């Protein structure tokens, strides 16, 4: 991938290119920021610039043999590590190399949930295991084949298994010569402090509304008003914008599902709550976590409708009209507790709680909170 293919992020691109041209390439860097904003594409473009045979002042050439291999993610001096899970004993990233290449070439703005669905691992959670770290060390024992650098891209180091951390720490601290580690993360708070301390941080911000809207208009031939509407809902994430584009109108989106759930909670509709809990339990844990993240965003929208700068509201159209009626129930007296309960549910889902029981209990807790009027 080349830098010019990435939406926005001009200052980060310039910083990365300058680090190569000025021979200031740090051996361990952590690209972090919200999912879908360009973390992985920037790491891929940076890796391509590092191995490019004829780099330009502002991008890789895109024509040399190294660039052509990077387009297909088959360059021998660029290796990948990512969360996996399998029924097979001691799986490694290399066992899923074909699936990885296909997924990333199709959409370099892929998120963790997309990858888990590609793996088809049901309710299992992908991890980067000790065996995987041993495999990274093994791969780095070989000399570089073509490029001046060997690059290791570790996607989602948040999923690094604790027992595996010491193995990765040692090689991060003392990597082989001309080896560059690029860690790509979305939740820096979940990364071990010992890993953080050994990396140079590269912060990736959400894509600006103007840049995202322009990309939607030029790449997908959308009318300006449609692109603007999608941009408002995407919250700086190209991945989220693509999901909005692909969304089937016959299927409820999270905003509609959340509002339906809130109506059940508000009225203490036992059957509705029970049916909703069964509905959520049928989804994978990753989808359940994504829904709870959306619920947090929608609760924030309610607070903004009540008290905030109206220009910051991301909802629009019929959704905004519906939420204006519901918003008073999420107020200064219960908003903090409301968010706390959603975060707590997300925490327990991540730790394999029984989702049907969890969503049932959460629904009745929310019922009590919604009764607290502002």
State the pLDDT at residue 249.
39
Dist. CA 109–CA 6, nearest whole Å: 10
Please give the structure tokens belonging to residue 114: 């997309």
Instruction: Encode pLDDT of 136-186 as tens digits.
Output: 888 887 777 888 889 999 999 888 877 777 878 888 888 888 899 999 999
pLDDT digits (tens, 9 = 90+) for 234-268: 888 998 888 877 653 334 578 889 999 999 999 99
DSSP state of 312: G
* Contact partners, residue 293, CB within 8 Å, separation at least 6: 346
Q: What's the mean per-residue pLDDT of the chain?
A: 87
Q: What are 184's strand-pairing partners?
A: 31, 155
Q: Parallel, antiparallel, or unpaired: how do β-strands 200-203 and 78-81 relate?
A: unpaired
CA 59, 64, 67, 68 dihedral sign is positive
How many Cβ atoms sit within 10 Å of the Cβ of residue 173? 12
DSSP 217-271: HHHH---HHHHHHHHHHHTT-HHHHHHHHH--TTS--HHHHHHHHHHHHHHT-HH
Q: Which residues pair with 153 in a beta bridge?
A: 80, 182
Helix (H) or strand (E) holding 47: helix 39-51
φ/ψ (deg, to 5) at 185: -130, 160
Per-residue model confidence as pLDDT tens digits over 200-233:
999 999 999 999 999 999 998 888 878 887 887 7
Assess whether pLDDT exceeds 60 at residue 288. Answer: yes
**Environment class of residue 22 by beta-carbon count within 10 Å: exposed (0-12), middle (13-18) or buried (19+)?**
exposed
Tokens (6 digits) for 206: 């959400």
Contact 287, 117 (CB under 8 A): no
Please report, rounded to a whole number, the percentage of residues in the chain having pLDDT higher than 70.
94
Q: Does residue 328 have a pLDDT over 50?
A: yes
The first and second tokens of residue 364, run together, are 């009745």
In Å, how far are 71, 181, 210, 315 from 219, measured between CA atoms? 19, 31, 14, 23
133 burial via Cβ count (<10 Å: 0-12, 13-18, 19+): buried
Whether the CB-CB separation of 316 and 229 falls below 8 Å is answered with yes
- CB burial of 185-209 (b: ≥16 within 10 Å; e: otherwise) equals bbebeebeeebbebbeebebebbeb
Mean pLDDT value across residues 48-57: 93
Q: How many CB atoms lie within 10 A of CB 16?
A: 22
10-14, 71-75, 115-119, 269-273: lowest mean pLDDT where? 115-119
User: Which pLDDT score, from 0 to 100, does residue 89 have?
Assistant: 66
Rounded Cα distance, 7 and 20, in Å = 21
Residues of the chain by 3-state class (helix, strand, coil), percent to 5: 60, 10, 35
Quick check: 29 and 199 in contact, CB under 8 A? yes
Distance CA 139, CA 77 (A): 10
Percent with pLDDT over 90 in the chain: 45
The angle formed by the CA atoms of residues 284, 287 and 288, to the nearest 5 degrees, is: 85
In order of 22, 30, 144, 166, 340, the CA distances from 148 in angstroms are 15, 21, 7, 27, 49
pLDDT of residue 6: 95
pLDDT at 171: 84
pLDDT in tens, 312-325: 777 766 777 788 88
Q: What is the Cα Rg of the chain in Å?
A: 22
Strand partners, 45: none
């Amino acid at each position: 991938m080349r830098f010019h293919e990435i939406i926005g992020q001009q200052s980060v691109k310039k910083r990365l290119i300058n680090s190569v041209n000025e021979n200031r390439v740090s051996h361990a860097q952590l690209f972090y920021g919200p999912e879908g904003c360009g973390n992985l594409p920037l790491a891929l473009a940076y890796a391509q610039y590092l191995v490019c045979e004829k780099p330009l002042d502002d991008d890789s050439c895109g024509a040399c043999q190294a660039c052509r291999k990077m387009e297909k993610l088959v360059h021998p001096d660029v290796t990948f590590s990512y969360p996996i899970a399998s029924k097979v004993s001691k799986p490694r990233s290399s066992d899923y190399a074909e699936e990885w290449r296909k997924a990333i070439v199709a959409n370099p703005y892929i998120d963790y949930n997309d990858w888990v669905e590609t793996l088809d691992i049901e309710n299992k959670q992908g991890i980067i295991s000790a065996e995987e770290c041993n495999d990274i060390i093994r791969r780095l024992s070989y000399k570089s084949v073509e490029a001046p650098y060997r690059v290791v891209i570790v996607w989602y180091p948040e999923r690094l298994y604790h027992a595996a951390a010491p193995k990765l720490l040692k090689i991060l601290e003392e990597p082989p010569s001309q080896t560059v580690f690029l860690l790509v993360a979305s939740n820096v708070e979940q990364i071990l402090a010992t890993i953080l301390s050994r990396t140079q941080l590269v912060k990736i911000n959400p894509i600006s509304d103007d840049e995202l809207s322009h990309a939607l208009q030029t790449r997908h031939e959308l009318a300006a008003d449609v692109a603007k509407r999608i941009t408002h809902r995407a919250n700086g994430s190209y991945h989220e914008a693509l999901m909005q584009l692909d969304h089937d109108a016959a299927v409820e989106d999270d905003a509609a599902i959340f509002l339906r759930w809130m109506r059940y909670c508000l009225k203490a509709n036992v059957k509705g709550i029970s049916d909703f809990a069964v509905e959520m339990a049928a989804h994978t844990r990753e989808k359940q976590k994504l829904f709870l993240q959306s619920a947090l965003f929608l609760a924030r929208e309610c607070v903004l409708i009540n008290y905030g700068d109206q220009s910051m509201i991301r909802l629009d159209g019929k959704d905004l009209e519906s939420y204006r009626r519901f918003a008073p129930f999420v107020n200064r007296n219960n908003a903090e507790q409301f968010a706390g309960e959603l975060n707590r549910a997300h925490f327990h889902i991540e730790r394999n709680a029984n989702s049907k029981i969890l969503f049932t209990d959460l629904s009745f807790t929310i019922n009590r909170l919604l009764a607290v009027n502002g």
